[in-house]
A and B are shown apart, each in its own frame.
Chain A
């Protein structure tokens, strides 16, 4: 467990030393979201309708930006080898890395989303549901993304390949996440969507680190 905390702390420290990477993803999120009203038109009723989908798709793309760096640096400088030789199970260390990735790339999106939601004239209630849905959904993106990042480690054209592998797997999170906000706006109650999103998260926490570890072992051989 100490090694788990050590790896989370190290990755957070590294992110703090390289703040620009965190901010780049955030600005990307902001810009993509702002492009939609420009492309579609500023009609409020329309914006309110597309807001959940737009915010979720943009969050999904922004979370993916930093994915190919998740293991790449550790792989290159030999840290990954040291991690796999640690007496602590590699899956636990991988979970630590995923947690740190979510804290630096997912959590900021959750915090920024309501501000961007205001641009789309969402009600305070809908903004709250949006935040909760992102809070449950963005960890799923990090977890599933870690599998893709581990599989494409050191592979030609890894970045594009990563999105090809990971985006189809993101679809359930997108549907339930955006669906939660839409259901709330339509007055149907978001509870069902949110609990399904929670179920996805539970499933991801159990299986994703294991699959990512198996993929990392292949890359290490």
Chain B
């Protein structure tokens, strides 16, 4: 047990995580590309045309996985924040800040595709649907995290402040979600829900799951890539960075 703990903490040091991340990210990128190709093929050519919504519904193959990932990534950020606060590891803060832009990107993508889907569905670019509204607030939380960490010059301090705001945010996300949901039912009654399409065919579900997996692999790959850049930037004065083969040129 203790042996395993030691091994884990070995990779908590940026110097040993940097080469590991370098080995891992191309694999995740490759798996992500394959899955995305498969997912897009299913969503465009295999999934049947919806008899109510026509071809326009196909945007949910992007929209729904993007929403899932945006929420999931926020939870992962909060997880790293908790690790960082408990064990005071430098890598956790770097992981959080590497994940934030990807999370914000997915939240934005989810809002954008939601609007594109809403126009043919409801005849309006934006409706105050509970899910869309929560997604918007989640996007604000991401922006707040990024703005706060960007405004603090000392990276260690920025990491710690970011950890606190992401933990506060993750406690608030369910509260915000349920309050918005309640507000929504109070004001306009049951609305069309994006995920409860009238007849969810099995192929549609498969398409969405595969796309979600593809997004997941993409997120891991890009986060690892970004964390490598962050490690290099922060540790540029150390000897191990100076001894890296890519620094010898």
A interface list, Cβ under 8 A from B = 147, 151-152, 155-158, 161, 164-165, 167-169, 171-172, 175-176, 179, 182-183, 196, 200, 203, 207, 211, 214-215, 218-219, 221
Contact = CB atoms under 8 A, between A and B. Distances in A.
B160 interface: yes
A96 to B, nearest CB: 20
B167 interface: yes
Given A165-B165, A171-B179, A218-B164, 17 more contacts: A152-B151, A161-B147, A164-B140, A164-B143, A164-B147, A165-B144, A165-B148, A167-B140, A168-B140, A168-B144, A175-B179, A175-B182, A183-B186, A211-B168, A214-B164, A218-B157, A218-B161
Interface in B19-34: none
A171 to B, nearest CB: 6
Contacts of A157: 151
A168 B137 contact: yes
B183 interface: yes
A144 B157 CA distance: 20
B179 A169 contact: no
Contact of A175 (B144, B165, B180): B180
B152 interface: yes
B183 A179 contact: yes
Contact of B161 (A151, A168, A172, A196): A151
Nearest to A217: B160
B172 A172 contact: yes
B176 A168 contact: yes
Nearest to A158: B151
B222 interface: no
B49 to A, nearest CB: 38
30 contacts: A147-B165, A152-B151, A158-B151, A161-B147, A161-B148, A164-B140, A164-B147, A165-B144, A165-B147, A165-B148, A165-B165, A167-B140, A168-B176, A169-B169, A169-B172, A172-B176, A172-B179, A175-B179, A179-B182, A179-B183, A183-B186, A196-B179, A200-B175, A203-B175, A214-B164, A215-B161, A218-B157, A218-B160, A218-B161, A221-B157
B148 A155 contact: yes
Contacts of B168: 147, 169, 211
B137 A161 contact: no
A207 to B, nearest CB: 7
B242 interface: no
A167 B180 CA distance: 14
B171 interface: yes
Contacts of B85: 214
B144 A211 contact: no
B99 interface: no
B165 A176 contact: no
